[in-house]
């Protein structure tokens, strides 16, 4: 049986101001193309135990910028940030905390999802990449293609996939400065951290780029396929 993959959702509003759950179709389509069954998760903390019983893997999707104060440690949100819905952030923080006691469940974080994994592991962010890279930060915006330099070739993200020479697309103005207790698995040519993982867990990894937005190459659908295969026990 194909594994059920829980996919986190965003929180938007209708024209009348009513809150609603949202998700880019590309996430579910990529999971389905990789052989998984996508399940969009409502942001209900009380349902987390049931989600853990139901789903064999969890995909943390992209989104707006984190509210840094929720992590404690004296962190503050930068004035350039576009803070995400607080309810979404609290739910995903609680889900990641729960997954810490279910280490057999594969986890893949994309963009904000990777940043959350780093923050929950004690890491910190560059909250406004132009302050670090200057005008070159635009290379990480607008789905512009760029290369990736693998620094941990044995990572579950890349192992067994053969040739990894393919480009990726990104859209972010924040980036991981330090991944805390996690390992750096890849960087962009400009040294921005592009992938992180925990080699002590079966599959616990994040990528800064958006693999669901391209179907070509091992760094795109290949990453999601590796994640779904892990959820399937392969």
* 202 to 2, 41, 64, 95, 103: CA distances (angstroms): 18, 22, 28, 17, 7
- What pLDDT does residue 76 have? 94
- What pLDDT does residue 228 have? 97
Whether pLDDT at 161 is above 70:
no
Whether pLDDT at 167 is above 60:
yes
Would you name the residues annotated as active-site residues?
111, 210, 212
Mean pLDDT confidence for 69-80 = 93
Whether pLDDT at 48 is above 80:
yes
CATH classification of 4-231, choosing from 3.20.20.100, 3.40.50.880, 3.40.50.300, 3.20.20.140? 3.40.50.880
Whether pLDDT at 54 is above 60:
yes
Report the DSSP pairing between strands 57-60 and 4-8. Answer: parallel
Q: What percent of the chain has pLDDT over 90?
A: 73
- Supply 226's token pair: 């590796």
* 195 to 28, 102, 157: CA distances (angstroms): 21, 22, 9
> Could you report the per-residue pLDDT of 108-151, keeping only the tens digit for each?
999 999 999 999 999 999 999 889 889 888 888 888 888 899 99
CA–CA distance, 55 with 171 (Å, rounded to integer): 28
Domains of the chain, by residue range, sit at 4-231
Contact predicate 187/170, CB 8 Å = no
Contact predicate 6/51, CB 8 Å = yes
Q: DSSP assignment of 46-109, as one string?
A: GGHHHHHHH-SEEEE---SB--GGGG-TT----TT--BPPHHHHHHHHHHHHHHTT-TTS-EEE
Neighbours of 29 (CB within 10 A): 13
């Amino acid at each position: 049986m194909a594994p059920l993959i829980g996919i986190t959702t965003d929180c938007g509003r209708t024209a009348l101001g009513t809150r609603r759950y949202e998700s880019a179709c590309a996430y579910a389509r990529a999971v389905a193309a990789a052989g998984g069954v996508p399940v969009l998760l409502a942001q209900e903390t009380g349902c987390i135990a049931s989600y853990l019983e139901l789903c064999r893997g969890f995909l943390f999707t992209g989104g707006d910028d984190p509210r840094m104060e929720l992590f404690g440690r004296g962190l503050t949100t930068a004035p350039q940030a576009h803070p995400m819905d607080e309810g979404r952030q609290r739910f995903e923080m609680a889900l990641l905390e729960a997954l810490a006691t279910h280490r057999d469940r594969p986890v893949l974080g994309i963009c904000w999802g990777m940043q959350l994994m780093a923050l929950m592991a004690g890491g910190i962010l560059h909250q406004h990449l132009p302050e670090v890279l200057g005008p070159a930060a635009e290379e990480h915006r607008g789905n512009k293609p760029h290369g990736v330099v693998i620094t941990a070739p044995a990572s579950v993200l890349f192992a067994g996939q053969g040739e990894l020479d393919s480009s990726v697309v990104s859209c972010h103005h924040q980036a991981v400065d330090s991944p805390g207790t996690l390992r750096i698995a890849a960087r962009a040519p400009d040294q921005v951290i592009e992938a992180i993982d925990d080699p002590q867990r079966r599959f616990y990894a994040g990528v800064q780029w958006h693999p669901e937005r391209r179907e070509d190459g091992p760094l795109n659908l290949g990453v999601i396929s590796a994640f779904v295969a892990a959820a399937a026990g392969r």
